[in-house]
Amino acid sequence: MEMLSKEKAIAGNRDAWNDSARHHKDNPDWQVLLEAVTQRDFCCIDDTLRGVLEQVGVEAKDVVQLGCNNGRESISLFALGARSVVGVDQSAAFLDQARELASHSPHAPEFIEADIHHLPSELHQRFDVALITIGVLNWMPDIGEFFRHVAHTLKPGGALVVYETHPFLEMFDPEVADPFRPVTSYFRREPFVQDQPIVYEGKVEQQAATSYWFVHTLGEIFTGAIEAGLQISHFKEYPHSNREEIYDQYQQREAQLPLCFTWVGVKR
């Protein structure tokens, strides 16, 4: 079997997201979103993340969202008082959607197509706050290298805010007969591989570019961040899910799994 290089995984994930973009737009929710972003106070950020961002402080700050997808969260940051917002993603197709949303918004975010591992120099040490939300970390084959590039975007004293799915959840498959039985190791090394479009609900039975979803333990995540010069100032786990609806079945259980987390790293 051919060894999977980091470069192949990153390129494959970019192509897979480009292949998937039209499926996200061919949805009644898209028209609702186009209307919603016309409001100056539009905000799709949930209370959990909003609380952390308000604690860190984004008012009158320069903010970058890394892995911004269609830009709806980037636009939402203006409702929290951000002075400027830049969204970065390597999917040109999703950035087309982001720019379409921005064209309907009273705000003016900037969207940049770039692989986080090859960011343009004008993004280095430019931002007070960097934001990463659900579904970014697991697309990265080398989490330590990823955080080194993330840290480059921050000014000294700037803060990285992360709101992600908990790696414990990767041990379970919500679609099997017994979704509460672990089916893979927490310490899994090989990525999950998919050849269908990436959608948030259900499946699309079509061929798409191969995507690679990597599992990173909490230890790997925090070690990577610390070695990148980020000092962890906040970490909290939650019993609610912030990913696809099918994972809601893991909520409100007597023996409750941690389903997501927030953490903040400050650039030293």
Residue 95: partners with Cβ closer than 8 Å, 6 or more residues away: 68, 71, 87, 89, 111, 113
Tell me what pLDDT residue 200 has. 66
Tell me what pLDDT residue 188 has. 98
Q: Own/partner pairs for 188-196, CB < 8 Å, 24+ apart?
A: 188/215, 191/4, 191/9, 191/141, 191/215, 194/16
User: Per the structure block, which two tokens stand in for 76?
Assistant: 């939402």
Kindly list the domain boundaries of the chain, sorted by start residue. Answer: 6-267
Tell me what pLDDT residue 1 has. 46
Tell me what pLDDT residue 120 has. 96
Q: Using alpha carbons, select from 162, 172, 171 the residue that is nearest to residue 238.
A: 162
Q: Residue 248 carries which DSSP code?
A: G
| Topology annotation, domain 6-267 | Rossmann fold (3.40.50)
218-227 and 143-152 are packed helices; what angle lies between their axes, rounded to 10 degrees?
40
- Could you say which residues of the chain have pLDDT below 70? 1-2, 200-205
Residue 62 three-state SS:
strand
User: How many angstroms separate the CA atoms of 1 and 38, rounded?
Assistant: 50
State pTM to two decimals: 0.95
User: Per the structure block, which two tokens stand in for 224?
Assistant: 């990577």
Answer yes or no: are the C-beta atoms of 114 and 122 closer than 8 Å.
no
